A and B are shown apart, each in its own frame.
Chain A
Amino acid sequence: MTIELEQHIDPTLIPILEKVHDPEIPVLSIMDMGVVRFAEVVNDIVLVKITPTYSGCPAMDVMGEDIISAFAKQNMKAEVSLVLSPAWTTDWITERGRKALEKYGIAAPLGEDLDKEALLGNKKIVKCTQCGSTNTKLVSQFGSTACKALFQCEDCLEPFDYFKCLK
């Protein structure tokens, strides 16, 4: 467990890393999630450092294994380690990632202040991923995974996940 202040990724490795997806949100590549903090070939071994979204996220172990097998397919040996600092934030999800989330049916995280208003139920601002209405209500602050909250649309009545803002 180390600290990796700046993101540093060898651009030639990006196409391979983009093939690895979050097992719990399969439309999102680990690059679009912003969890890859470091990737470089050192002495013929690809060293990859990833940061967890939440401390207990069980997807991290799977992502680590998937990274190793993605590189193995290219006949490259990879080693994966975890870094904790700086802590992951939803700001690191790329624009492409946000669009993929919405299309998949998960509302993308709002900014910090708006997120608070939404989760405290003060304002109706989270957009339904089915019909686009903002007439939605919070059902639970905790959803199917640690990173999501559960919402329901009061117009089309569909329940949907909202990716909580983490800053």
Chain B
Amino acid sequence: MNHDLRPKSVLRTYPHWFYLPAAIVFGVFFLVPTLAAFYFSMTRWTLFDATYIGFDNYVRFFQDPQLTAGLRNTAIYAVMTSGLKVIISLPLAILLTSRLHLKSLLRGIIFFPVLVSTVAVGITFSVLMQPSQGLINTVLRALSLGAPDWLGNPSLALISVALVDVWKGLGIATVLFISGILSIPNDYFEAARLEGGAWVKFRYVILPLSRNAAFTVILLSFIGGLRTFDLIWTMTRGGPGFASDVLTSVIFKQYQAGFYGLSTAGNVILFILVTIIVYPLMRFFNRRELEEL
């Protein structure tokens, strides 16, 4: 791979300086602050001046009882959203690649929430999930299914937000599966049709051959879940109490409080955590794809 045997004249068509503009912007506005974060995380920082205090902020952060809850919630949220998106979107994709007349309309309907602002979705669902008057509970009560306090019950708040996240992000997952299914050569379906019915088609054709799509869905929503902030912040602000706090909202609260050094330490912990979890996941899921990167 490192020995490119193509003639120089061809390689010259792909000059390295094409990297330069992107490298400058990305370097200055992303890499520098990210690296600087490692230093500032070891200071007591007021933005005016930074006093070096070693690892105190990290010790602090791990003493903070919120953090353990935040860590646990982050994991629950990421696993739940990515899992549910796969479980729901695969059957949906199969439905929407079948002989449905309305399939393009339905695809569009499912996809639209992806494009809507998180703030708008958060506000709308906070109202829909209102316990005594909200639409969701009105419907549930009519069906005698009970009326949970979606966002107010501490043991339910995080799950409720995760469900809204699934609602908003289902479109991408479904679209990914649809394209996975559409890229399966027709011969396989023919063979499955001869072998048996729909189950064979699902179990031996669609399921194995949309593996790549499933990996992409899981990976994308897992990363999104670990970094999630906007929706939680607009719907519960991590509450009630600390019940739906995730790492990013804990970091954000420290930041709001003016504990800039401490907040940055949290940021660094998040970098490390996300890398530790996602990188092996990437290798595990898609070795070939990684090599190709």
* A, B in one complex: no
Interface residues of A (CB under 8 A from B): none
Interface residues of B (CB under 8 A from A): none
